[in-house]
């Protein structure tokens, strides 16, 4: 009678159906061959020798039995594959059951994860090792077998593939070994996990194996790729000649461990590779849409542990084993190791279970419609339960995010320790530890710039140089001066060649190159414009290869070190910025990187399309609030931050802190609105918002400076209620945005000396703080009356005996807008100053202004440039024209769209003309704003630069301009028409 | 004499090319009874966003594991195209995403340009299935594995719940390849 196996007793098919579809392969093998296998076992009366309903503890023995009683090779392979498939499924079911049991007891979750990973890893290696060993016996029988050792170099628990390194005695055995491993690989692909021979892809010649000599040839003279190193350092022999592995360890592996008082170049290279990888990973911000456990935490954690392992000389293989030792021996950093342990066990378990239950892929796309169901399976297996406040998978995702932060913190803290160790042992110490003393005459002084690059060639491919650059960035600048001096003192050709070498080096490690350039220019700003830095930048930009990898690196640098990146971009000229935009603006794959790419492009375009004047503002914001650079494309968020800065002022204890933050608020708003108008936002809205924030700034600054001045006077504070006011004059009075100067009129309706001194003290303080924002303040009448503050008496005396230029002062007053002051003050001002001295003498005032207009028309005729402010029909003419009408109709309202509307009520017959003037006025102001922000804070428009402002004008004003010539024609037509319209209105109406 | 067919799938990390490699290899080895090996990118190239997966299919033993004489190269990014074109054999097929790869290298090979990612988004509303559309195109163009085997292998590799959309994506790829062949004539293989 044939014995049978009843899988229903263990619900094998039911249990497996809950796992990922990739288990179908194993079910397929079982369905295809299991009955035949059972018959064959039964025929040989070996049923009691096999464990077929539970995971076998002796799979190698059972597989060998199969090979013994099945002689036909093809059948043998089929039956072995079937047996492996069955044991593989039983193993995973066992692992899940044990994990579930352990997690149901009140023990530490992370310890349970560790036990699960260790046990499952052990079982998987036991099973897969047995399968490989039995197959190799078939493909490469013992008696014909050359020497080799098979090392496992990957994570033990990984089932998606098995990473192997095979070491042989040389090329003579290669084809025999490769043929056998080719057959082995095929069987593994069909019935188990694919084998990957990464080490031999990089080391040695054709084949699945490489010799120790080939490792020497590749690794003796250059550190090469750290990924190869970390795989090698994890190698555990599983099959073949152990003596060969011992030799490999002694000759190749041991040199990557720290050896006190010996040559530690290999160890240093290994650390530079690992720390570079860790820093690159820390740079990458957690993604909103995708979870990638390897990228999010595992690589970083493992690299950190391998770095500490080689430093402390810990002879253990897996990351968890090394961590166990460190937790017991390095008590000073126990907390960091515990953090790493928690994160590592969590992410490793998550990744394993996701691949078990869902798919053997690294990326977990959260937008996938089935993701909740799939993650729920993983969450339940990890011990989470549905709660009223959140389902299990939501809790899992929250833990995922938290532990990602934990992983990062743990890794960062340990990296600092490794960095310190690195700075003690580096081979660069002999050139970087220098003093300021002149060189002794006994030997020629080495050129540090050349020597650094020479020595670093051994470390090609590594990306961590922070320890060296920290020395370059020291306050004393001894090393920096020597480095730059050595560089610049080289003869021309040598210097050029060395710059090219540095740039080649920097292609692999852009963070380091950008760091180097920004340290030099920050410490020695005079070099920013030098030929030396210009060549560096040209070489870098024009040689920049726009690959996905290179672009991603730049994007991540911006994300990680926004201040450094903006300092770097600020060094680039327009052509270099243009070139970089051209390179970076290309299709990339992946929503996360596209978001970062857009941020970088926005920033590059901002630098390229901004005047130096505007750059001053955003550079200040970037220096103080660099973290917000990522929000450049998010204007509402930017506005929220600015509002927050304003509301937060009272939370600071000192007045100076409040003033400092008030300044930041100003810069933030200036930047936000600048970007908005450059991007084609509504001119009217921007103008309005600009007026609000700049008025806020002056009002609060006045209050804070008054408070400060009052404190200095103790209790002896004069009462200035309804007597003191601040007026904006000039551009700010007319809501002119983005002006580079601030015209203020400070009026005091009192002759009290003490009050005047107090007011002057306030304004003096205000002045100091406004200038710090790179805005020039002009105090109208200050020159005339030798005081920041002008009293009503001063004005009355002056206007009572006016000189020939008094009409200019009158127009300033007529155009001024009160920012600080009371309604009582304004009434007194209108009654005592405006009405008696301007409105009541409007004929003289109007006549003077009309003469001014016509004389300037003569002067500016045919100057060859468009001075948008001063040219005939320009902004000044329009404003003077408006002053004339204001005086004529006794209107005190400042210049605005409402003033134009009001004028139409006085001159209904001229509505069409006034509307045209209004349209032209705001168009010209818009052009001027854009020109100031994007080209130069100059009112003389250079025709060749007008192209830059066409795009935002077209977008905002719905225009169809195609070229600079189009825009120039539009401006010229507007100003010409303005002249005619003003002339006509003056002619047809009775003025004065 | 045994045939040997080499496929290289290249692009960017996250495009699912490793999965396509596994599906193709398993279709050949498990369901079509051929020999197959599959390998994937490793080291810094995988760290930097580039992704490469290779499949070698043969009806005999595969002694030499590295693909160096590629019969069909799939390139989903410009970088991958520039980097891996060197190993495409004379007369081989360069299959590119026509939107991601705009600079086509010169050489003695046949170029098949199809908007793979765009088709995934427009026809199936998911860029994530671009890889399976590419697999359909390769299956049709190469004829090296049977459509049924690939279909089985897809079902055995993709996450539960996504089987149908992936099968639809596979047939979308077959259809796009057929359309290309109708318009341009058969490939010289």
- CATH fold for domain B4-184: Pyruvate-ferredoxin Oxidoreductase; domain 3 (3.40.920)
> What is the token pair recorded at B76?
């989903």
> What is the token pair recorded at A77?
């392979």
Domain for residue A727, yes or no?
A: no
> What is the token pair recorded at A950?
């066409």
Q: Which residues of B are less than 8 Å from A196 in CB distance? A: 39-40, 42
CB–CB contact A189 B44 (8 Å): no
pLDDT in the model for residue A440: 57
CATH code, domain with A320? 1.20.120.330
Cα(A847)–Cα(A79) distance, integer angstroms: 112
> What is the token pair recorded at A327?
């937790």
The 10s digit of each residue's pLDDT in A15-24 is 999 999 999 9
Q: Residue B48 is nearest to which of A25, A368, A549, comparing CB atoms?
A: A549
* Inter-residue contact B137 to B114 (CB < 8 Å): yes
Nearest CA in chain B to A17: B160
Instruction: Report how far apart, in Å, the C-alpha atoms of A96 and of each of A117, A156, A353, A372, A827 are.
Output: 11, 17, 9, 20, 85
Q: Residue A206 is nearest to which of B50, B64, B161, comparing CB atoms?
A: B64
* Secondary element (H or E) of residue A110: helix A109-139
Domain for residue A721, yes or no?
A: no
pLDDT in the model for residue A857: 72
Q: Residue A590 is nearest to which of B12, B161, B163, comparing CB atoms?
A: B12
For chains A and B, count residue pairs whose Cβ atoms are closer than 8 Å.
145
> What is the token pair recorded at A952?
């935002």
* Inter-residue contact A519 to A471 (CB < 8 Å): no
Cα(A913)–Cα(A942) distance, integer angstroms: 29
Q: Residue A201 is nearest to which of B38, B42, B64, comparing CB atoms?
A: B42
Cα(A803)–Cα(A786) distance, integer angstroms: 17
Nearest CA in chain B to A181: B63
DSSP string, A819-839: EE--HHHHHHHIIIIIHHHTG
CB–CB contact A25 B26 (8 Å): yes
Domain for residue A805, yes or no?
A: no
Same-domain status, A568 and A533 = yes
Same-domain status, A233 and A379 = no
* Inter-residue contact A734 to A815 (CB < 8 Å): yes
pLDDT in the model for residue A442: 55
CB–CB contact A593 B49 (8 Å): yes
Q: Note the ipTM here.
A: 0.91
SS3 of A901, please? Answer: helix
Helix-then-strand count for chain B, H and E: 7, 6
pLDDT, mean over chain B: 90
The alpha-carbon gap from B57 to the nearest alpha carbon of chain A, in Å, equals 10
Cα(A62)–Cα(A858) distance, integer angstroms: 109
Cα(B113)–Cα(A216) distance, integer angstroms: 44
CB–CB contact B44 A25 (8 Å): no
Q: Which residues of B are less than 8 Å from A25 in CB distance? A: 26, 30, 156
Cα(B26)–Cα(B34) distance, integer angstroms: 9
Same-domain status, A70 and A219 = no
Closest CA to A539 of A494, A576, A491, A586: A576
pLDDT in the model for residue A201: 79
The alpha-carbon gap from A177 to the nearest alpha carbon of chain B, in Å, equals 10
The 10s digit of each residue's pLDDT in B42-78 is 545 545 556 789 999 999 888 777 788 999 999 998 8
Helix-then-strand count for chain A, H and E: 45, 14
Pairing relationship of beta strands A741-748 and A724-729 according to DSSP bridges: antiparallel
| Domain boundary, last residue among A88, A117, A139 | A139
CB–CB contact A206 B66 (8 Å): yes
Nearest CA in chain B to A197: B39
Same-domain status, A412 and A296 = yes
First-to-final CA distance of chain B: 17
- Range list of H helices, A739-778: 753-771
Same-domain status, A213 and A293 = no
CB–CB contact B128 A365 (8 Å): yes
Cα(A854)–Cα(A874) distance, integer angstroms: 13
pLDDT in the model for residue A587: 83
Cα(B134)–Cα(B114) distance, integer angstroms: 9
Domain for residue A752, yes or no?
A: no
Q: Residue A179 is nearest to which of B14, B63, B162, comparing CB atoms?
A: B63
> What is the token pair recorded at A454?
């020479």
Q: Any idea what DSSP says for residue A153?
A: -
Cα(A46)–Cα(A42) distance, integer angstroms: 6
Q: Which residues of A are less than 8 Å from B64 in CB distance? A: 178, 182, 206-207
The alpha-carbon gap from B30 to the nearest alpha carbon of chain A, in Å, equals 6
Q: Which residues of A are less than 8 Å from B100 in CB distance? A: 587, 589
Cα(A138)–Cα(A68) distance, integer angstroms: 11
CB–CB contact B44 A552 (8 Å): no
pLDDT in the model for residue B47: 53
Same-domain status, A4 and A96 = yes
CB–CB contact B43 A227 (8 Å): yes
| Domain residue limits at A593 | 426-612
Give chain A's domain count.
5
* Inter-residue contact A276 to A415 (CB < 8 Å): no
Closest CA to A39 of A83, A11, A3, A86: A3
| Domain boundary, last residue among A424, A446, A476 | A424
* B residues 110-129 lying closer than 8 A (beta carbon) to A: 128
Task: For chain B, give every domain's residue range.
Answer: 4-184
CB–CB contact A228 B159 (8 Å): no
Q: For chain A, say whether B66 makes contact (Cβ under 8 Å).
A: yes
Kindly report the backbone phi and psi dihedral angles of residue A728, in degrees, each rounded to the nearest multiple of 5, phi listed first.
-85, 135
Q: Which residues of A are less than 8 Å from B43 in CB distance? A: 198, 202, 225, 227-228
CB–CB contact A196 B76 (8 Å): no
Same-domain status, A16 and A109 = yes
Give bridge partners of residue A777 from the DSSP assignment.
Answer: A742
- For residue A525, what are the contacts with CB-CB under 8 A and spacing of at least 6? none
Same-domain status, A413 and A448 = no
Q: For chain A, say whether B49 makes contact (Cβ under 8 Å).
A: yes
Give bridge partners of residue B4 from the DSSP assignment.
Answer: B58
Cα(A791)–Cα(A785) distance, integer angstroms: 9
pLDDT in the model for residue B189: 65
* Secondary element (H or E) of residue A165: strand A161-168
Same-domain status, A440 and A345 = no
Q: Residue B44 is nearest to which of A227, A363, A588, comparing CB atoms?
A: A227
Domain for residue A938, yes or no?
A: yes
Same-domain status, A294 and A191 = no
| Domain boundary, last residue among A545, A579, A612 | A612
Cα(A790)–Cα(A257) distance, integer angstroms: 78
Same-domain status, A403 and A431 = no
**Interface test mutation site (partner A, options B20, B36, B65, max chain A beta carbons within 10 A):** B65
In this prediction, the residues of chain A whose per-residue pLDDT falls under 50 are none
Q: For chain A, say whether B1 makes contact (Cβ under 8 Å).
A: no
* Secondary element (H or E) of residue A364: strand A364-365
Same-domain status, A14 and A115 = yes
* Inter-residue contact A396 to A382 (CB < 8 Å): yes
Cα(A699)–Cα(A54) distance, integer angstroms: 81
Q: For chain A, say whether B164 makes contact (Cβ under 8 Å).
A: no
| Cα B106 from chain centroid (whole Å) | 21
Instruction: Report how far apart, in Å, the C-alpha atoms of A939 and of each of A141, A683, A771 are.
Output: 89, 18, 21
Q: Residue A186 is nearest to which of B12, B36, B99, comparing CB atoms?
A: B36
Q: Which residues of A are less than 8 Å from B18 in CB distance? A: 361-362
């Amino acid at each position: 009678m044939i014995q049978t196996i009843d899988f229903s007793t263990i619900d094998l098919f039911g249990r497996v159906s809950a796992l990922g579809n990739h288990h179908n392969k194993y079910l397929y093998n079982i369905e295809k061959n299991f009955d035949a296998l059972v018959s064959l076992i039964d025929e040989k009366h070996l049923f009691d020798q096999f464990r077929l309903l539970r995971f076998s503890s002796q799979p190698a023995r059972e597989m060998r039995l199969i090979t013994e009683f099945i002689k036909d090779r093809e059948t043998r392979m089929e039956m072995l594959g079937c047996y492996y498939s069955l044991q593989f499924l039983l193993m995973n079911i066992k692992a899940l059951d044990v994990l579930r049991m352990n997690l149901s007891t009140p023990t530490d979750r992370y310890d349970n994860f560790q036990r699960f990973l260790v046990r499952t890893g052990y079982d998987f290696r036991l099973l897969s090792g047995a399968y490989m060993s039995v197959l190799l016996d078939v493909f490469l029988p013992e008696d014909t077998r050359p020497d080799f050792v098979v090392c496992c170099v990957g994570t033990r628990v990984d089932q998606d593939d098995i990473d192997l390194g095979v070491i042989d005695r040389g090329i003579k055995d290669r084809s025999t070994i490769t043929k056998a491993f080719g057959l082995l690989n095929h069987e593994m692909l069909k019935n188990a996990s694919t084998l990957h021979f990464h080490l031999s892809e990089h080391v040695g010649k054709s084949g699945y194996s490489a010799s120790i000599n080939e490792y020497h040839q590749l690794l003796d003279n250059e550190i090469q790729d750290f990924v190869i190193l970390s795989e090698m350092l994890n190698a555990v022999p599983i099959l073949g000649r152990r003596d060969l592995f011992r030799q490999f360890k002694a000759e190749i592996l041991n040199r990557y461990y720290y050896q006190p008082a010996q040559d530690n170049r290999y160890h240093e290279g290994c650390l530079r590779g690992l720390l570079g990888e860790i820093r690159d990973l820390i740079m990458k911000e957690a993604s909103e849409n995708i979870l990638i456990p390897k990228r999010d935490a595992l690589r970083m954690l493992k690299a950190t542990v391998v770095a500490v392992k080689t430093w402390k000389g810990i002879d253990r293989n897996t990351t968890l084993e090394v961590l166990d030792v460190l937790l017991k021996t390095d008590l000073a950093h126990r907390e960091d190791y515990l953090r790493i342990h928690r994160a590592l066990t969590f992410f490793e378990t998550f990744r394993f279970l996701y691949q078990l239950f869902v798919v053997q892929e690294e990326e977990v796309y959260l937008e996938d419609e089935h993701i909740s169901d799939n993650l729920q399976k993983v969450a339940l297996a990890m011990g989470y339960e549905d709660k009223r406040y959140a389902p299990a998978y939501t809790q899992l995702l929250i833990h995922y995010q938290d532990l990602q932060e934990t992983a990062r913190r743990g890794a960062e803290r340990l990296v600092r320790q490794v960095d310190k160790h690195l700075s003690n042992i580096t081979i660069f110490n002999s050139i970087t530890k220098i003093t300021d003393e002149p060189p002794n005459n006994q030997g020629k002084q080495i050129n540090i710039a050349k020597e650094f690059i020479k020595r670093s060639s051994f470390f090609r491919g590594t990306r961590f140089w922070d320890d060296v650059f920290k020395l370059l960035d020291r306050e004393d600048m001894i090393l920096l001066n020597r480095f730059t001096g050595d560089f610049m003192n080289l003869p021309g050709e040598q210097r050029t060649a060395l710059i090219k070498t540095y740039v080649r080096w920097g292609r692999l490690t852009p963070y380091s190159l950008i760091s180097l350039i920004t340290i030099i220019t920050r410490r020695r700003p005079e070099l920013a414009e030098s030929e030396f830095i210009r060549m560096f930048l040209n070489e870098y930009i024009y040689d920049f290869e726009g690959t996905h990898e290179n672009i991603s690196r730049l994007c991540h640098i911006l994300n990680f070190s926004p201040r450094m990146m903006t300092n770097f971009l600020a060094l680039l000229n327009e052509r270099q910025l243009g070139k970089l935009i051209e390179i970076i603006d290309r299709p990339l794959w992946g929503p996360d990187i596209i978001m970062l790419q857009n941020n970088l492009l926005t920033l590059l375009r901002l630098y390229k399309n901004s005047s130096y004047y505007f750059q001053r503002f955003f550079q200040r914001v970037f220096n103080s609030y660099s973290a917000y650079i990522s929000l450049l494309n998010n204007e509402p968020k930017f506005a929220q931050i600015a509002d927050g800065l304003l509301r937060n002022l009272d939370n600071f204890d000192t007045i100076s802190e409040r003033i400092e933050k008030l300044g930041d608020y100003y810069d933030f708003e200036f930047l936000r609105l600048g970007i908005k108008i450059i991007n084609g936002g509504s001119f009217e809205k921007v103008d309005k918002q600009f007026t609000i924030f700049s008025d806020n700034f002056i009002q609060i600054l006045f209050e804070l400076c008054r408070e400060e001045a009052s404190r200095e006077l103790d209790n002896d504070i004069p009462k200035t209620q309804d007597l003191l006011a601040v007026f904006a004059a000039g551009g700010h009075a007319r809501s002119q945005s983005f002006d580079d100067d601030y015209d203020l009129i400070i009026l005091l309706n009192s002759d009290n000396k003490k009050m005047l001194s107090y007011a002057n003290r306030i304004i003096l303080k205000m002045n100091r703080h406004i200038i710090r924002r790179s805005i020039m303040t002009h105090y109208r009448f200050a020159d005339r009356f030798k005081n920041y503050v002008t009293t009503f008496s001063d004005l009355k005396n002056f206007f009572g005996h006016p000189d020939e230029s008094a009409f200019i002062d009158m127009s300033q007053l007529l155009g001024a807008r009160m920012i600080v002051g009371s309604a009582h003050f304004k009434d007194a001002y209108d009654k005592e100053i405006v009405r008696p001295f301007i409105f009541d003498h409007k004929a003289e005032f109007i006549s003077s202004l009309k003469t001014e207009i016509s004389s300037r028309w003569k002067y500016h005729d045919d100057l060859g440039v468009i001075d948008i402010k001063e040219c005939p029909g320009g902004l000044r003419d329009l404003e003077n024209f408006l002053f004339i009408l204001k005086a004529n109709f006794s209107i005190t309202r400042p210049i605005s769209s409402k003033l134009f509307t009001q004028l139409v009520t006085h001159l209904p017959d001229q509505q069409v003309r006034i509307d045209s003037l209004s349209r032209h006025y705001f168009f010209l102001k818009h052009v001027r704003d854009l020109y100031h922000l994007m080209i130069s804070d100059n009112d003389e428009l250079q025709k060749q630069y007008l192209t830059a402002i066409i795009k935002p004008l077209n977008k905002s004003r719905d225009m169809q301009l195609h070229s600079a010539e189009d825009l120039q024609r539009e401006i010229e037509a507007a100003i010409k028409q303005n002249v005619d319209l003003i002339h006509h209105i003056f002619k047809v109406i009775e003025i004065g | 004499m045994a045939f040997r067919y080499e496929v290289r799938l290249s692009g960017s990390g996250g495009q699912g090319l490793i999965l396509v490699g596994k599906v193709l290899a398993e279709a050949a080895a498990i369901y079509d009874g051929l020999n197959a090996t599959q390998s994937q990118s490793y080291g810094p190239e995988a760290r930097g966003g580039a992704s490469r997966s290779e499949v070698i299919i043969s009806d005999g033993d595969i002694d030499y594991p590295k693909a160096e004489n590629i019969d069909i190269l799939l390139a989903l990014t410009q970088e991958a195209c520039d980097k891996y074109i060197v190993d495409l054999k004379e007369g081989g097929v360069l299959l590119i995403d026509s939107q991601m790869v705009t600079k086509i290298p010169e050489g003695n090979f046949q170029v098949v340009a199809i908007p793979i990612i765009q088709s995934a988004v427009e026809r199936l509303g998911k860029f994530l299935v671009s890889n399976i559309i590419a697999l359909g195109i390769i299956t049709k163009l190469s004829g090296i594995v049977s459509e049924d085997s690939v279909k089985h292998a897809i079902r055995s590799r993709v996450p539960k719940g996504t089987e149908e959309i992936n099968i639809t994506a596979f047939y979308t790829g077959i259809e796009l390849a057929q359309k290309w062949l109708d318009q341009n004539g058969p490939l010289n293989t």
